[in-house]
Amino acid sequence: MGQNALPKASSALDSFAAVSGDLTGIVSGMTPTLANARGTLAQLSATLGQAKTTLSQTDSSLAKVQDKLATAANDIAALQTSESMGELADLMGVDVNDVADFMASPVELTSKSIYPVKSFGSGIAPFYTIGWAAMCSSPFTSSRSTVKVLAALRRAKATLAAGCSW
What is the predicted pLDDT for the residue at 60? 95
* Segment 104-114, tens digit of pLDDT: 887 777 888 77
Q: What pLDDT tens digit does each residue of the chain (166 aa) get? A: 556 777 777 777 777 777 777 777 777 888 888 888 999 999 999 999 999 999 999 999 999 999 999 999 998 888 777 777 777 777 777 777 887 787 788 777 788 877 776 766 666 665 666 665 566 656 554 556 666 777 777 777 666 655 554 4
Instruction: Give the residue among 102, 121, 108, 119 at the shortest CA–CA distance from 160.
Output: 121
Q: How far is CA 113 from CA 108, 135, 140, 158, 163, in A?
A: 16, 35, 43, 22, 15
Q: Phi and psi of 140, rounded to 5°?
A: -75, 140
What gap in Å lies between CA 64 and CA 71, rounded to an integer?
11
Residue type (1 letter), 39: G
Q: How far is CA 91 from CA 84, 94, 96, in A?
A: 10, 8, 12
What is the predicted pLDDT for the residue at 78? 83
What is the predicted pLDDT for the residue at 166? 44
What is the predicted pLDDT for the residue at 48? 94
Instruction: Tell me the domain boundaries of the chain.
Output: 12-104, 125-163
What is the predicted pLDDT for the residue at 145? 65
Question: Per this entry, what is the length of the chain?
Answer: 166
Please say whether the dihedral angle defined by the alpha carbons of residues 143, 147, 148 and 150, taken in this order, is positive or negative: positive
Helix H segments across 82-95?
83-92
Q: What string of DSSP letters covers 30-51? A: HHHHHHHHHHHHHHHHHHHHHH
